[in-house]
Amino acid sequence: MGILSSLWTGVSGLQAQGEGLSVVADNIANANTTGFKASRAEFQDIMSRSLKGIDGGNQMGRGVRVGAVNPVLIQGNIDHTDRGTDLAVNGDGFFQVKGTEGVSYTRDGSFKFDKEGFLTTNSGQKVQGYQADEKGKIETRMGNIQFPRALVNASGTKEIKLDLNLDSRSVADAKKFDVKDPYKSSDYATAVEMFDSQGNKHVLNMFFNKGQDRTWTYRGMVDGKEVEGATEGQDLAQVVEGKVSFTEDGKLKSQEVTNAAFNFKGGAKQGQEIKMNFGEDIAKGGKGEGTKQYGKESDVINWHQDGYSAGTVTGLSFNDEGVLTAAYSNGQVLDLGQVVLSKFENPEALFKMGGNLFKQSRDSGEPSTGAPRLSGRGSVMAKSLERSTVDLAAEFVTMITDQRAFQANAKTITTSDELLNEVIQLKR
């Protein structure tokens, strides 16, 4: 009897609209969940009964069911925060995290460091990324993002680079250098810092004397108390000596070290090798850039050395490439790692795990994992969080339509019941 089938058709409507209302309720409940993506119930009709068989047409529906509940993967609004470990994905991709259940994926970037220095989610999942070597260079080696170096090791100076101007107006051989009175017996004096192998800082005093044929002799001297084998009673001890020469137009022609003995006390490495670099001299194929000899006062234009003492962490921060950087008390800034993103061809098919986590499924495809802003992956924004994509106004409208549809299906059942009651009343 058709009336009986209409009862079950109405029941299917009640079930489907009830499930649709559950999806709306879940969306509303997660309106403030970080990185949450609103879902949508998609309905399908149930197979019809054909009145004409395979000829088609004249088919009668048997109700409705929820065919799918798919997330609507649109970009959520990004809010600025004051916490340095908060990250947001702007564009396609998910953060990759690892825990007891293996690898998972999330858009929730409210991370923190645990007591062991690992960057984790609020549920303890460890954030994955590229590792950095001891010098702070990011490598394509995957692992847990960790803050392992509260103390950075000291590094002795390997190169001292000096860009100077040596006054061409100085008279050649006008002064004879005297180690006991270097300041008065040199044409020009300056000083730079350097570090021994244990990270101890030393002041390297540089003295320059002009000679014939546009050639200058330089001598580097440090405090005599800091050097092994220094002459007693001598304030400064020489550790390096060399020459620089210039072309007629003042460019750097050649440079050489004629003697070096960087032998510092305190257990530091003896015979420390340090390159004295005055620029790109022509003799070695350079363009003569760097130190010059022009007719103006001798002066230091720029100098740099690559050594540093041991240091402790003074600050941590992420940049918009997802790179974790540590600043140390000795002035060093080193990269510790880079957060990676994973992009899926069919992210709607990812399996929800709860706790803002997703798992790869058969239909989602394999992830394309790598650095942000490459191969279609989005960017990472530091000190930011992605808000939920739930639109409360739209959810309330959907709730009203689901409610009215539920009420209408209930009316179908009550009407069918009244008709059946009329049939029963035929026999008195």
Torsion of CA 377, 381, 387, 391, to 10 degrees: -60
Give strand pairing partners of 130: 142, 338
Helix (H) or strand (E) holding 21: helix 2-29
d(CA 60, CA 56): 11
The 10s digit of each residue's pLDDT in 15-41 is: 888 899 999 999 999 999 999 999 999
d(CA 348, CA 361): 10
pLDDT at 58 over 80: no
The 10s digit of each residue's pLDDT in 146-163 is: 876 667 788 999 999 999
Percent of the chain at pLDDT > 70 equals 95
Higher pLDDT, 218 or 1: 218
- Grouping H, G, I as helix, E, B as strand and the rest as coil, residue 129 is strand
d(CA 388, CA 35): 5
Contact (CB, 8 A) for 300 and 164: yes
pTM > 0.85: no
The 10s digit of each residue's pLDDT in 303-346 is: 999 998 988 888 888 988 899 998 888 888 889 999 999 999 99
Predicted pLDDT of residue 81: 93
Contact (CB, 8 A) for 92 and 377: yes
Class of domain 159-305: mainly beta
Report the pLDDT averaged over residues 295-299.
95
pLDDT at 78 over 90: yes
Predicted pLDDT of residue 425: 79
- The residues, ordered by sequence, that sit 6+ positions from 327 with a Cβ below 8 Å of its Cβ are 313, 314, 315, 316, 317, 333
Domain boundaries, the chain: 2-64+388-424, 78-152+313-386, 159-305
Contact (CB, 8 A) for 96 and 85: no
**Alpha-carbon 287 to chain mean position:** 38
Chain-wide mean pLDDT for the chain?
90
Lowest mean pLDDT of 5-14, 29-38, 107-116, 120-129, name the range. Answer: 5-14
Question: What are the C-alpha distances in Å from 398 to residues 41, 71, 153?
Answer: 10, 15, 61
Question: What are the C-alpha distances in Å from 20 to residues 234, 261, 268, 394?
Answer: 90, 82, 74, 14
- Grouping H, G, I as helix, E, B as strand and the rest as coil, residue 22 is helix
pLDDT at 280 over 80: yes
d(CA 280, CA 286): 5
Helix (H) or strand (E) holding 403: helix 392-424
pLDDT at 1 over 60: no
Question: What are the C-alpha distances in Å from 362 to residues 16, 349, 388, 419?
Answer: 27, 8, 26, 49
Antiparallel, parallel or unpaired: β 311-318 and 323-328: antiparallel
DSSP code at position 186:
S
Predicted pLDDT of residue 422: 77
The 10s digit of each residue's pLDDT in 121-142 is: 999 999 999 999 877 899 999 9
